[in-house]
Every structure is written in structure tokens, then in C-alpha cells.
Structure 1
Amino acid sequence: MHTMWKGTISFGLVNIPVKLHSATENKDIKLRQLHEECKSPLQYERTCPVCEREVENEEIVKAYEYAKNKFVVLDKEDLDNLKKEQDDKAVEIMDFVKLEEIDPIYFDRSYFLSPNEGGSKAYSLLRKTLEDTNKIGLAKIIIRSKEQLAVVRVYKNTIIMETIHYPDEVRDVQDVPNVPEEEDLGEKELTTAKTLVDQLTAEFDPEKYKDDYRESLMELIEAKKNDEDVTTAKPKPTPDNVTDLMEALEKSLDKNKGKKGTTKKKTTQKKTNTKKTSDKKTDEKETASGKKTS
């Protein structure tokens, strides 16, 4: 299992070197977008609308937009220093609470925790303590440059950490539109509804639930594949060296045409100026010669 993070979890004076592993995976079927005409996968480029060109990774900086089209640019060094300050801190369990005190709306993602070298005994101590007290730990951790609030609890003999949202990340229920106030419900309606709930009540068994849409989609894909109802993307056109050479030569000719015309014009002008100078000198000589004869 891939290790996402290494660090230390502590409670009191107990320090536990641990590794973090993702506990869940997204099994959505990813569908690519193709150009209908040639069945080639589409590509998306990061372009600058002002410079009108594609932007390379090394040209990109991060910024916070505090008002429309007004940004505070954050240098990589600033962000790295801030991240290092947080990474140097151990993940400390701040409080112990009961799991039922946290509403499920706060839960985000789950991660397995395994002991790192030399941490097995402390790991077992925390696990046993959480089991016996029926409590969970509340801690903070930095994951992917974001500080997360998290709970640490036991799941099937393994310590699991689940990130939870901060209170200001959970939207106010007062903003939900069209929620009715208390209604006067008939006793018969309420009794019937409760009876239906009782009939459908069962112990939670996650194995009996499945993603019907995903399975149907995979069946459809396999059926089309078996019927050879498939398509192959056309290879990207390879530049023709001959075509490129001719194009380059033609561009060079077009470019030099202008220069040639300018050069010719300058040469003609130069010849004209030279001829005028020569004629002037001849006139001066003839005038001087005439004066001398006189």
C-alpha cells in the first residue's frame, strides 16, 4: 500500500512514528472525450489570453484573487517556508471525544495509519487506549499543503485517521431554500411511516450494496468490445521534412523579396548620387579649365 505521508502522532508524552495510507479509492469509470470526426483524444492547453500562447509550467505562479482581477502573488519560496514550518510540527492529539458527538457532515476522507520503525508498541498502546475508553482523538495534520482537522480512531484492529471539515467549511443550513417549517401531521400518516421504517430496518452490511450503474456501464463497454464495436485513434500527423523544407524555403524567399527590393532601391539611389557627384566634379573641372584658358 502506497505511503502518502510519514510523521509522528503524539498524545501527552507518547510519540508514535506512523505512515499514512489512503483508505479508500474512487472507482468511477473514467471516460475520455474524443473528436467525433477522427476519434482522436482531445487535449487541453493552458493558454494566456493576453499573450495568446501556451504557458509552460515554469512560467506559472500562484496568487490569491482578493478582488475582481486583483491578485496577491505568492512566491514558491513563501509557500515552501510556510509548509516547512507546519511540517516540522508533530501531529498532536489535542482532545479526546466521543464519536457520536461529531455529525457525519463533518467527515471528509479516510486514511489508514500504520506504525513506522520502532513505533509498534506505542501504536498498540494508543489503539488499546482508544478501544477501552470508547473515545476518538482530535488532531491537526498538514496534507497536500492544507492544514486538516482530523479524528483518530480504531477500525478493525487498525488505527484510522479521518479528515473532517472545519466549522466554517460547513455551510449554514439557514441558507438552504424552501425548507418547510413544522407541519401538522396526521397520526395515521405518522404511524404508517414508522411501521414502514420498522419493516425496512436491518443491520448494516456494506457487502450487500453495490454500484449498479458502474456495473452496467462496464457490461456495456465489454459487450461493445467483444462485438469489436471499437475505434482506434488516428495517429498524430508526422511533419513531412520535404514539406517543411519547401515551406521554409518559400518563407525565406518571401522574406528576402522585401530585402532585395530595398537593397536594389538603395543601390539605384547610390548610383544616382554617384552619377550626380561625378557630373558635378566634371562641370567644376570644365569651369576651372575655361577660366585658366581665358
Structure 2
Amino acid sequence: MCTTCYNSVTCVDGFMEPFLNLSGDYELIVVDGGSKDGTYEKLLKYKNLKNFKLIRSKCSRGKGKQIAMDSSSGSTIAHIDFDISYSEIFGIINFYKKINIGKIYNFYSTVNHCAAPLIIGERNLFDVLKGYGDLLGTEDIYFYKKANSVNVLVRILLNYNHRCLKIRGLSSGNERRYEINLFSRIKRRLLMARDLLFVSSGNFNTIKVAYKLHGIKLITQGVPEYIFGKLLLPTVKAEKLDKAIPEVRKRYKKYLEEKQSSILSTEKTE
């Protein structure tokens, strides 16, 4: 299981609670993206937890997820968010094992109001998709678009319990949780605008929807962010989707051919 951690010291104990009795069948990898509020230090108290690995690397959310996956050793990967306590995560993983037919599963809870996606799938399929991209807050959209291009993404609503944890008093999905001052707020919004435009081929509407901009705010906030976001597009390190998707399709075709070959080989042996 992989997750990323960002300036969320108040979340640490709540998040770690379900994993205190981690069995030998699982490993938990947390990537701290350069927190400065004591999150990393608080996580260190869990360093002796069985099969727990803590990595500190200044990175975007997308890159953090990729670091976690690259540092794992399992044949099944589960990406989870750090601001939610997944009390039933092992039950969901067991459910995934029963229904898995070679897809990436996006599990959403019908309980509570915070977003609680669990992305679970075969490691080989994650390798085919080549991760979330070095993106700040749109890494999931980037990943979903690549997964949908080869029809391997399945979204399932489940009635599972979880707790929504808060960062700086704000719940999941509120980007203001990561703002320290006015400068950091402006910087983050511009980078978010850049990444939104990157994954949407420059569609202004993505900024409007993401920040719920209406009326005068569309002009005073939306337009400047759109302009600066467009100017910053060359600084994005992720591969453009129009280039990435054809490569995903090639790798997926090879993946299916190798899987079929393996099945035929097994049948001949039997």
C-alpha cells in the first residue's frame, strides 16, 4: 500500500491506526513530500512497525505516489490518501482479490462526505500506465485518462466506513489546507492552474469548475490564473497525454499478449 503525506501532522495517528497490526502479507509505504510541521518526525515513531517504510522526498503528489510504488515489492498495489483513516481497508483489498479480472479498481465510499478513493490493481498494470505524472493536484485525472484509454479503470461504490481527517482544521479536498501564507497560496493556485490546463488540453472550464468560480471571480481570478497557467505549461515535467496515451496502448497490447501466452503455457503444462 502506498500513500503520500503533506504537512498533516494532525492526521498521522488517525491515518496509521488501521495499520498498527500489519501482517506479513502487506507493506505500507509513506512518502513525505517535504513537510515542515512535524509530520515526518511524528511518523518516525512508527519506524519499527512491521513492513513499514517511510521515505522523505520533496515532490509533487503525483511523483510521491510513483516513488512509493517504485519502492514497493508487492504484485498488488493500493494507493491511498493520507487525510483519511481507512478502518476497513483490508476488507476492501480482500474484496478486490475476489473480483479482480485484470483491471484497475477505483473504490469510493458511499459513507461520509470526504473523498475516499482507493486505487487498487496489479503492479503490471500500473507499470503499463506508467504512473500519475509529476503533477501537483491533478495526478488522479492524468492517471484516469491513461487508464480509460485502454479501458482498464473500474469505479465501484462501496458502503465502507472511514474517518475524514483534517489538516489545519480543513477537511479533505480543500487546497487551502496547504497554504502557509499569501505567497504560498498564490504559488499553489498558479501551479494548480498550470496542471489543470495540462491535463485538460488548455480548457479554461477546468479552472472554473475546480475553484467554483462564478460572476466577477471568473474575471478577477479565473482569467489571470488561466493566463499564468498557460505561461507555466512548459515547466510541467509530466509527459503530455497525446504522447503518453499511444505509448500506454502499445504497452497494454504487449501486456495482453504476454498474459495470453502465459495462460497457454500453463494449459500445455497441465
**Do the two structures share a fold, i.e. TM-score over 0.5?**
no
* Higher normalized contact order (CA 8 Å, seq sep 6+, divided by chain length): 2
With normalisation by structure 1, the TM-score equals: 0.20
| Structure possessing the higher radius of gyration over alpha carbons | 1
With normalisation by structure 2, the TM-score equals: 0.21
Q: Decide which structure has greater strand share.
A: 1
Q: Decide which structure has greater helix share.
A: 2
